[in-house]
Structure 1
Amino acid sequence: MSRTGLRLAADGWLDHLRVERGRSEHTLRAYRRDVGRYLDFLAARGITSAEQVREGHVSEFLAHLRTGDADHPPLAATSAARAVVAVRGLHTFLALEGETPDDPAREVSPPTPPRRLPSALSVDEVHRLLQAASVGDTPAALRDRALLEVLYGCGARVGEAVALDLDDLELGRAEDGTGGVVRLFGKGRKERIVPMGRYARASLDAWLVRGRPELVRTGRGTPAVFVNARGGRLSRQSAWTAIKTAAERSGLASTVSPHTLRHSFATHLLDGGADVRVVQELLGHASVTTTQIYTHVSTQRLREVYAQAHPRARSAARQEG
């Protein structure tokens, strides 16, 4: 198969993706660009047929994408991964069509994008956010404050919070200051019981006594803890809108995402000395490996403790004093 034949084969693969697989024009343009660069790369190395391509050529192309050249800047892991996926798709197609005896790209894995550390607010920033969620004494204000207090106080996902029913709450006694527990259902309907602090409990009390009855009165009745203006269960989108509104009021809009309060819950527990496996149970993670990403978020706290405790980390002035 000649170089022209390689390009014809690539066109055939793209036609297959469009007609047989229904890929979008946007995806096809990206694949055409990536495969075109790959074929130029092969041609510059004297590769004129698909049968000449070896695994080393595909691996070299991946490295070339990551380092760049005079005409192309280095690609990020996500962009390089997309290009490798395109190349693998082309070679798989050629092998299945009988154009090549094997697939030289089969063992070349796309680069793994770096895992982004979850963002977490400081304790003061969480306080600002929660204060911003309770502007006024309307049912909606009481609900939004209770919602955010549960998200932060229990480390709940937004979907878990809006799925709460009244039977999932076991509130502690107000007179002794206990918060009680909440039953959350995570991924795969996996159930977990999470303690609830007194701030979350107080906010829930205010919402359940003074706010929720006003809204449920307009609807047909629902077991949902958090309801909308029509008395029905609050949606995930509406919950996110409440978080976004509070973030904008508090000046934290650029740092708050749907998972921010959950991330902050985990980070602050670890900063306070909680065992990572306890945090794993509270978050409902199936593996402690997932929870351990939060230990990286707390690196600043480790630095602070080290600076205060280690004799060789202290300043000269402090050592002399």
Structure 2
Amino acid sequence: MNIFLKEYLNVLRLEKNLSVNTISSYRNDINSLINFLDSLKINDPSLVDNKLLNSFFINLQELGLSNTSAARYYSSIKGFFSYLFSNKYIKANPVEKVMPPKLSKNLPSVLSLGEIDSILLKPDVENKLGLRDRGILEVLYACGLRVSELIGLKISDLFFDEEIIRVLGKGSKERLVPIGSSAIKWTKEYLTKSRPLLAKKAKSENVVFLNNRGSKLSRMGVWKIVDQYVKEAGIQKEVHPHTFRHSFATHLLEGGADLRAVQEMLGHADISTTQIYTHIDRDYIKQVHKQFHPRG
């Protein structure tokens, strides 16, 4: 597949005279599909059908990628297969049987990098709760955690020297997730300066993020923290803790990260409707996170 992609990109550059940025965007989008197909042991474009392509787009949707971005993926992939078909590399164009993503008004809300930064800068880190809140926001965005995963984090789940954390996800499935240097810095500050002031032996139970009474934070507690700083940042769109998870996935994918690596970071075990699951090397996932996450 990579040979065909290289040929196609050369045509775009030499014959279509497209810009470097546009060609890079095409490359990232089509590479995401190729990585998806590789995970299913498919490397012959003639074996790709509309069911596989639909499965790929369903995965993009589940990862929180906006329909606008999915539409761009569709356009890139359509152009690629149209090229293969017109040059008789394949007998039929599978994209013709795939409906393009609909641009709906009810898109999952995704924060821009500027909005993320403005929210992260709002907590007063000189205050014990403000420092805790900075750590919470940093970890939500750095690791793409569900709220239940965040509030369940234990100190024994933090492996900062290895730049990973252990997360207990849905169905009590454990996974290891990379954590960037910024989130490590602020979580360490919180653990050193704030948590000792909040902790109470009988209640704290080794939990990382505590409420003002020394107990584990509730889901609603995290919701209120996010809502407070979103309002303080003057952001008008609807934002909740899961928005950070959507933004995490979207920013990684739009930066060119491997779909399967993002899938594993989020704890989505099934990458296709056939439920084929391939384990990715932990070092590779860390490399993808460091390379493509804006705060990696």
Q: TM-score range by the shorter chain?
A: 0.5 to 0.7
| C-alpha distance after superposition, 1:111-134 (max 9, x if no partner) | xxx8954221111111011111x2
Could you tell me whether the CA contact under 8 Å between 2:109 and 2:246 is conserved in 1?
yes
Aligned to 2:177: 194
CA deviation profile, 1:193-241 (whole Å, cap 9, x unmatched): 0010000000101100000000004864421000011111111110111
**Partner of residue 239, structure 2:** 256
Paired residues of 2:204 and 2:210 also in contact (CA < 8 A): no
> What SS does the corresponding residue of 1:280 show, helix, strand or coil?
helix
The residue number in structure 1 matching 2:196 is 213
Residue identity in the other structure for 1:233: K
Corresponding residue of 2:277: none
| Residue type of the alignment partner of 1:222 | E
Match of 1:203 among 167, 186, 199: 186
Q: One-letter code of the match for 2:129?
A: A
Match for residue 140 of structure 1? 129
SS in 2 for 1:288: coil
State the secondary structure of the residue aligned to 1:229. Answer: coil
SS in structure 2 at match of 1:255 = coil
TM-score by length of 1: 0.50
Determine if the alignment matches structure 1 residue 154 to structure 2 residue 137. no
Q: Could you tell me which amino acid in structure 1 is paired with residue 116 of structure 2?
A: V
Determine which of 91, 114, 118 is the counterpart of 1:124: 114
Are residues 238 and 167 of structure 1, via their aligned partners in 2, closer, same or farther at CA, if it must alter by over 3 Å? Answer: same
Task: Determine helix, strand or coil for the equivalent of 1:164.
Answer: coil
Q: Find out whether 1:275 has 2:264 as its counterpart.
A: no
Indicate how the Cα distance of structure 1 residues 188 and 220 shifts in structure 2: closer, same or farther if over 3 A, else same: closer
Structure 1: give runs of 5+ residues left out of the alignment: 1-113, 173-178, 291-321
CA distance 1:168–1:123, shift in 2 (3 Å): same
- SS state at 2:175 partner: strand
1:90-112 deviations in Å (ceiling 9; x for gaps): xxxxxxxxxxxxxxxxxxxxxxx
Runs of 4+ in 1 over 4 A off after TM superposition: 217-220
Letter in 1 for 2:114: D
Share of identical aligned residues, percent? Answer: 44
SS at match of 2:176: strand
Say whether the 8 Å CA contact 2:109–2:237 is kept in structure 1. no
Query: Is 1:168 aligned to 2:151, yes or no?
Result: no
Equivalent residue number for residue 184 of structure 1 = 167
1:237-261 deviations in Å (ceiling 9; x for gaps): 1011100001010012533122110
Larger Rg: 1
Structure 2: runs of 5 or more not aligned: 1-103, 274-296
Q: Supply the AA of the counterpart residue of 1:165.
A: K
Q: CA RMSD in A?
A: 2.0
Normalising by structure 2, what TM-score? 0.54
Q: C-alpha separation between the residues in 1 aligned to 2:231 and 2:105?
A: 27
Partner Cα distance (1:249, 1:219) in 2: 34
Q: One-letter code of the match for 1:158? A: V
Letter aligned with residue 259 of structure 1 = H
- In 1, Cα distance between the equivalents of 2:267 and 2:105? 20
CA distance in 2, matches of 1:259, 1:159: 10
| Equivalence for 1:24 | none
Shift of 1:288: 2.6
Relative contact order, CA 8 A, sep 6+: which one is greater?
Answer: 2
For 2:119, what is the secondary structure of its paired residue? helix
The answer to whether the Cα contact below 8 Å between 1:244 and 1:253 also exists between their aligned partners in 2 is no
Hey, what's the Cα distance between the residues in 2 that align with 1:254 and 1:117? Answer: 11
